[in-house]
Amino acid sequence: MLFWILAAVLTAAVLLLIVPPLLRSGAAAPDRDAFDREVYRDQLDELERDRARGLINDAQAEAAKAEIARRMLATAEKSGSAATPATPRSARVLAVLLALVLPLGALSVYGLYGRPDLPAQPLASRNLEQERGGPPKTVLAAMDKLKAQLAENPNDLQGWLILGQAYAKMGRNADAADALRRAVALNGDDVELQGLFGETLVSANDGMVGEEAVKAFDAVLAKEPKDPRARFFAALARYQAGDRKDALDRWASLMAESPADAPWVPVLRDQIREAAIALDLDPTKVTPQPLPAEQKPAGPMAQGQPGQNGQASEGQSQDEMIRGMVASLAAKLDADPSDVEGWLKLARSYGVLGEPDKALEAARKARERAPDRADVQVVYANAVLQTQPRNETPKPLPEEATSALRLALKAEPENKDALWLLGLDAMMSGRRDEAAAHWGKLIAQFKPSDPEYTLLKGRLDALKAGG
């Protein structure tokens, strides 16, 4: 019953706010004529001051006063003859409709979606921690029980590992690192445990690879030299220590040995791009193509021991399967060439397979069908760049690529890839002002805490200094 009382009171309050203004007459409007008369009085005072200072003579002052007096009389007559407007009929009709429709509409909506039979839930019985996105009470209770067991049996390796993983999922990385440190102390030969410990230390240290994390990754690499996680973070440690060239070489080597669909490839590509910018290199020319998707590389990076006939034939069958899927996509596009997204996907697939000419042709097909799309022009420009021979000395981009990038920028003035590559082309061509303009628009899209912001700021400062 209390709910219906509150609902009725709120509905009445809303109607009182909306309906009465619609029924009021127009007499409450401000008096504009009175305001005008106040202005004219101020003008008369100003005339007297001007005459006293000698700015106007007596004849000019009297003429101006006569004109102001005439205007004051006109406003007085106008206000005296004004009538109070009546409330329009449409306003009265609207007020009546609102008074009827608002309560009836609210009741109809509540009748369809409301749950009047649902009992109230006392605050004490609600799991507020879970409602805020935290772990359920049962999980917290289980963790407390596990910590009590570990206090009695500190040599329980599995217990410390479970506790560390639970803390990591909760975002309590420092606590997770403490728990995993105890696990590593019990079994330092487990490379997976060492890698997890090192990664958790990096997360707890806001992305910085500290000395303890470096030791953990070194322990992994001593037994598994091709472990992707350890190789990535070992290179990141070198980058943060200032050895950007060594970090770039390590990341590029990892990219060349990684399957295209590996989960670390996008992050790896971003790190290579960042290192290339810091070294004044073209990221497109120093980023190697990964291996075809699902194909395992020859070497210790593959799961298990490679080199057996069965595994070799499996790798070949995977490669054949991938190429078969690409061929199937190409056949579908020949039958229906209007699929722009299909042409873009085919261009990227050919790029991954190391067939730049076919990638360029597919990108050209997409460009012919959607020349106004910025992403299509960027894919075409990248396909053009893939066909260019690699040079140790950075050179300006080919005109075919820059023209596509300009079209991309025309369609999307804030396109990051187009701004970066056109700025790079301008810098390598000696057009420093143009490069600064493109990179100035690009840096505005990043926060000062972003690594891209820091690197772009360094490039812009170098341009201003004439470097």
Confidence of residue 319 (pLDDT cuts 50, 70, 90): low
Neighbours of 328 (CB within 10 A): 10
Q: What angle do CA 258, 260, 262 make, to 5 degrees?
A: 65
Average pLDDT over residues 81-98: 64
Higher pLDDT, 210 or 349: 210
Chain CA centroid to CA 147, Å: 38
Average pLDDT over residues 344-371: 87
The answer to whether the beta carbons of residues 352 and 329 sit under 8 Å apart is: no
Question: Exposure pattern of 194-220 as b/e (b: 16+ CB <10 Å)?
Answer: bbbbbbbbbbbeeeebeeebbebbebb
Interval 322-334: pLDDT, tens? 667 778 778 888 8
**194 φ/ψ angles, rounded to the nearest 5 degrees:** -60, -45
State residue 177's pLDDT score.
92
Tell whether pTM > 0.85: no
Length of the chain: 467
**Is a pLDDT exceeding 90 seen at residue 215?**
yes
SS3 467: coil
Of the chain, the percentage scoring pLDDT greater than 90 comes to: 22
Residue reference for tokens 């005296």 = 80
Of the chain, the percentage scoring pLDDT greater than 70 comes to: 78
Neighbours of 268 (CB within 10 A): 22
Interval 216-269: pLDDT, tens? 999 999 999 999 999 999 999 999 988 999 999 999 999 999 888 888 888 888
Give the span between the Cα atoms of 450 and 337, in whole angstroms: 41
The answer to whether the beta carbons of residues 29 and 83 sit under 8 Å apart is: no
SS3 262: coil
Nearest to 281 by CA among 247, 320, 240, 258: 247
Interval 350-362: pLDDT, tens? 877 778 899 899 9
Confidence of residue 21 (pLDDT cuts 50, 70, 90): confident
State residue 447's pLDDT score.
81
The answer to whether the beta carbons of residues 172 and 206 sit under 8 Å apart is: no
Confidence of residue 120 (pLDDT cuts 50, 70, 90): low
State residue 51's pLDDT score.
76
**Is a pLDDT exceeding 90 seen at residue 156?**
no
Give the span between the Cα atoms of 369 and 339, in whole angstroms: 9
